[in-house]
Amino acid sequence: MEGILPLYKDRGMTSADCVYHCRKIFKTRRVGHSGTLDPNVDGVLPICIGKATKVVNYLMDSGKIYQGEIILGFATETEDLDGATIASQRLEKPFTEDEINEKLAELTGEIIQIPPMYSAVKVKGRRLYEYARAGETVERPQRKIQVDYFKQRLTSTFDAEKGQQTIYFEVGCGKGTYVRTLAVDLGRKLGVPAVMSDLTRLKSGGFTIGQAVSLKQLAECSEAELAEKLAPIDYALSEYPAYELDERQWALVKNGGFLGPQYVNNGEISEFLRLYYGGKLRALYCYNPEKTRYQAQTMIDLT
């Protein structure tokens, strides 16, 4: 059995937990997820089964959409509600919607982000969270990220007794974005401490939360029903042009040989090309402009 499962990850589970359970349900060790979700975050987590593990990276590169909440008035060491409070500031009055929207807009486009200390980013061979748990500090690498939009989905609310304001947001972003860091950065732009208080992933790998299936639902499925839950492998590559190989070309591709662009895809050049033979996806080839040829990028099914 092989394909891509749009899994709904419940809160309280790690992404590794989901892989473990899917291995048992689908009775295979060839299982991988396409982008970690923190234990306190729920939502869409595409899982690759069997030969589909070869396209995990392409799913990870796709855009993601989240919705969540940000509380203005205090901050934590983990940038979410799991960590200890490290700063607090009572708000005497709420920020206006215009003030909030202006700062949200400043956090869109290609921006520089510094990953949180409590994250899996590696520095000098160790995860940042390992340094954080040991009470050590280390210089964190700056990274370019893409934020397509960052907006309010509901009008914010103000708790006058606590002196805190809650912002309800939706964000569309690219690979490697830490949404909890966006929350902290929003607070910084407004001049107050902030924390991400809630987060759900609505879309990932082209799958929406409405398509996602929970582990509980999977556990009740027959083998035939499980197969029906899987999207085909080429779902992850659907943005790239497809080409059906002839017998001679297939013989080349099976051995990792290159293809002249004039002989495939009607001579049209594209960055990547999905190659099929006998109606099955066999490989993903990329175009090398220096050598003016298509060459192997990912071999998927050579049987």
Q: Which are the catalytic amino acids?
A: 38
Contacts of 181 (CB under 8 A, 6+ apart): 79, 113, 114, 115, 116
Give the span between the Cα atoms of 87 and 143, in whole angstroms: 25
**Alpha-carbon distances, residue 254 vs 21, 248, 297 (angstroms):** 34, 10, 13
- Are 180 and 201 in contact by the 8 Å Cβ rule? The answer is no
Give the span between the Cα atoms of 96 and 222, in whole angstroms: 53
- Are 153 and 65 in contact by the 8 Å Cβ rule? The answer is no
Taking the alpha carbons at both ends of the chain, their separation in whole angstroms is: 15
- Are 40 and 180 in contact by the 8 Å Cβ rule? The answer is no
Half-sphere exposure in the Cβ direction for 15 (13 Å, CA): 18
Give the span between the Cα atoms of 254 and 150, in whole angstroms: 45
Burial class for 77, CB neighbours closer than 10 Å (0-12, 13-18, 19+): middle
In eight-state DSSP terms, residue 10 is: P
**If DSSP states are collapsed to H, E and C, what string results for 31-57?**
EEECCCCCCCCEEEEEEEEHHHHHHHH
23, two tokens? 């291995």
